[in-house]
Amino acid sequence: MKKTISLILALALCVFVFAACGEDKKETNTLTMATNAEFPPYEFYEGEKVVGIDAEIAGVIAEKLGMELEIVDTAFDSIIPAIVAGKYDMGMAGMTVTDERLEEVNFSDSYATGVQVVIVNKDSEIKTVDDLFGDKNYTIGVQTGTTGDLYSTWDIEDEGLGKVSRFNKGADAVEALKIGKVDCVIIDNEPAKAFVAESENLVILDTAYAEEQYAIAVSKENTELLDSINKALKELTEDGTLQKIVDKYISAE
């Protein structure tokens, strides 16, 4: 009889422990976001904290999902492989939807429009985007794995019209431009404006290189999370929250 009572008590204790663990797991449910915090105003550091458009949008999405957001800063070209491997739940880094990326991950609905532009030195002989497609064989600086990298590789390097020089950070590409190691830099318009504002000798060409849509990368295995993110984005668009976040960092011109 004592053994029976002991067994019942032990089972009851196990049920209580597992239930308590389940409650703790739910309370500390974390949504991990991989980013590359070198892309203002979408993601950048303020002190020790990663802030910006993507960080804030991810924060309100996590809140809607009843989760706690954890942002991990990593190399841009490692984000998608890490999501595929299950290391992170999603990737937000001013990331454009491309056919190549869609082979590896799924993307949410778009939450912002990006424009790729060309930065040059003020005394550069490159005056328009069309000049990059001539016979001068310019060297173009890009951040590795970005759409600036992809577009210039396809359009220019693969066609034998120039060389693409790749850097781990957009800022490194811009520094290379300043000292003459590259002839121009192809990068998103918003960080481009920030880089140009810091240097009197740099300008952005009037003509955009490309226009693209930014979205959130999610593992192909995690369709439930993708559906939840799209639902949250729809609600945040309809109630104006998403636009308020964008407007906070990008002033209308």
pLDDT in tens, 193-241: 999 999 999 999 999 999 989 999 999 999 999 999 999 999 999 999 9
- Same domain for 67 and 32: yes
* Domain range enclosing 241: 2-111+215-249
pLDDT at 25: 34
Tell me if 214 sits within 8 A of 110, measured CB to CB: yes
- Same domain for 184 and 123: yes
- Same domain for 136 and 82: no
List the pLDDT tens digit at each of the 253 positions of the chain. Answer: 444 444 444 444 444 443 444 444 334 599 999 999 988 889 999 999 999 999 999 999 999 999 999 999 999 999 999 999 999 999 999 999 999 999 999 999 999 988 999 999 999 999 999 999 999 999 999 999 998 999 999 999 999 999 999 999 999 999 999 999 999 999 999 899 999 999 999 999 999 999 989 999 999 999 999 999 999 999 999 999 999 999 898 864 4
Q: How many CB atoms lie within 10 A of CB 176?
A: 17
- Same domain for 95 and 14: yes
- Same domain for 234 and 184: no
Tell me if 204 sits within 8 A of 117, measured CB to CB: yes
Q: Give the closest residue to 180 by CA, choosing from 130, 128, 125, 121.
A: 121
Look up the pTM and report it.
Answer: 0.73
- Same domain for 244 and 121: no
pLDDT at 122: 96
pLDDT at 176: 98
- Same domain for 91 and 162: no
pLDDT at 27: 46
pLDDT at 28: 58
Q: Give the closest residue to 150 by CA, choosing from 191, 116, 194.
A: 116
Q: How far apart are CA 202 and CA 154, in angstroms?
A: 25
Q: How far apart are CA 110 and CA 95, in angstroms?
A: 10
Q: How far apart are CA 183 and CA 80, in angstroms?
A: 29
CATH no. for residue 146? Answer: 3.40.190.10
Q: Give the closest residue to 245 by CA, choosing from 211, 214, 212, 210.
A: 214
Q: How far apart are CA 110 and CA 178, in angstroms?
A: 34
- Same domain for 25 and 12: yes
Q: How far apart are CA 234 and CA 219, in angstroms?
A: 20
Q: How many domains does the chain have?
A: 2
Backbone φ, ψ for residue 107 (5° rounding):
-125, 150
- Same domain for 150 and 88: no
- Same domain for 72 and 128: no
